[in-house]
Structure 1
Amino acid sequence: MQDINHYLSGRVKALRAEQGWSLDKTAKQTGVSKAMLGQIERGESSPTVATLWKIATGFHVSLSSLLEPSPVEEQGCVVRSAHQLRHQPAEGEMLVASLFPFEEHYGFEMFELTLLPGYERLSESHDPGVTEHVVVLSGEMELLVNDQWQVLGQGMAVRFAGDKPHGYRNRSQNPAVFHDLIYYPQTKA
């Protein structure tokens, strides 16, 4: 977790420098308080997934670009282990494994996400044209799309416009595990 916070700290500082933004301007663009941004930049905070999404959306970058650099590709192949990558950004949060962080030439990022029992998150709209692809690996979850909650079980898949409000929840007593592939049309990392 310390490595993730260290990388996030440097990444947010670099993004602010690239944009020439003050903490005040960054707070306005992201909807994250100046105090929280300062804590993140000092590596003193483990922000929630919701906070990370606000920062990513404010800077118009992918979520995974805040978590880690792109993996090294050897001879056209990248092998990743969800078990080794899985972490919990903040207490009570979903478990996140960034299987394939965003790379501009591919245009997507892919996560394994685990919703703990009782977890619910409403997501704000992503940038225009962003599309999400959800495939349930185990358990049962609900997905909010077009203002309606849809129940999804193991093996079910949904593609939807991520540039509209949406949400994820788990009302069951067991974890729900799913893959989420997020496509970004012409988005910088």
Structure 2
Amino acid sequence: MGDENIGLTIKDIRKSRGYSLAKLSDLTGLSVGYLSNVERNKNSPTVSSLRKIVDALDITVPDLFNNDCSKRKHLKKSERKEIIRSKKEGIKYELLTTDICKEMEPLLLTVKPGASSGEEQHQHEGEEFGFIIQGELTYYVGDDKYHLQAGDSIYHKASDFHSYKNEGNITSISLWVVTPPSF
């Protein structure tokens, strides 16, 4: 990809994140007009502006040059990226795609026996779908408690308060698909 397509790439990624120009403006401190001109390749962003934009979109500068949202992506197990979403012991999240233009976030969640997301339930915008591959996971949505075992699934609005705990004796492995993506 040449420099002439950076603006279009920024626009594609911004839209995939569900951000309006006004939202990106709020996140970067850059004006809507300036950002619009960058996206239409009318202005070339300064290094400082580009840093603000990539930080707000949670990408790197090289991502702007390696972006191809139209192709299918294949990710080998050895290429998975572990993400730090929780500082809790015994919990690991692995991102199952490297596509920066995704509209959903597929994750592999590994929870050791006794580990949990914490005492406090959390919420965010979007939706969540979980499928238990191995072991079991106790999942809380508001006041409701679900004992999920291998083969079980759950779906809920992410705006509902939720949390989880592995109350079993073996490591729980589950597939989660979350919208909107945050990594």
- Name the TM-score, length of structure 2 as normaliser: 0.56
CA contact (8 A) 1:82 1:97 kept: no
AA aligned to 2:109 is L
CA contact (8 A) 1:102 1:108 kept: no
1:77 to 1:159, Cα distance in 2 relative to 1, 3 A = same
Which residue does 2:28 correspond to in 1? 19
Which residue does 1:85 correspond to in 2? 80
User: Structure 2 residue aligned with 1:175, among 161, 164, 171?
Assistant: 171
Using the TM superposition, give the Cα deviation of residue 146 of structure 1 relative to its aligned residue in structure 2, in angstroms.
Answer: 3.1
Which residue does 1:35 correspond to in 2? none
CA contact (8 A) 1:170 1:176 kept: yes
Cα shift readout 1:107-158 (whole Å, capped 9, x = no counterpart): 211100101111111442102xx00000111111111113222011111111
Using the TM superposition, give the Cα deviation of residue 86 of structure 1 relative to its aligned residue in structure 2, in angstroms.
Answer: 5.6
Using the TM superposition, give the Cα deviation of residue 98 of structure 1 relative to its aligned residue in structure 2, in angstroms.
Answer: 0.3
1:92 to 1:154, Cα distance in 2 relative to 1, 3 A = same
AA aligned to 1:137 is I
User: Structure 1 residue aligned with 2:122, among 116, 121, 124?
Assistant: 124
Cα shift readout 1:71-114 (whole Å, capped 9, x = no counterpart): 9669822111345426473461411110025745x421110010
> Alignment length, in residue pairs?
129
Rg comparison, structure with higher value:
2
Helix, strand or coil for the counterpart of 1:159?
Answer: strand
**d(CA) in 1 for partners of 2:59, 2:167:** 29
Q: Give the % identical residues.
A: 15
CA contact (8 A) 1:142 1:149 kept: yes
Cα shift readout 1:146-186 (whole Å, capped 9, x = no counterpart): 322201111111111111210111011211000110022xx
CA contact (8 A) 1:80 1:99 kept: yes
1:164 to 1:102, Cα distance in 2 relative to 1, 3 A = farther
- Name the TM-score, length of structure 1 as normaliser: 0.54
1:115 aligned onto 2:111: yes
**d(CA) in 1 for partners of 2:159, 2:56:** 12
User: Structure 2 residue aligned with 1:148, among 128, 144, 148?
Assistant: 144
Helix, strand or coil for the counterpart of 2:173?
Answer: strand
1:162 aligned onto 2:158: yes
1:94 aligned onto 2:91: yes
CA contact (8 A) 1:118 1:170 kept: yes
1:60 to 1:75, Cα distance in 2 relative to 1, 3 A = closer
Helix, strand or coil for the counterpart of 2:167?
Answer: coil
CA contact (8 A) 2:108 2:176 kept: yes
Q: Gaps spanning 5+ residues in structure 1: where?
A: 1-14, 21-58
AA aligned to 2:155 is R
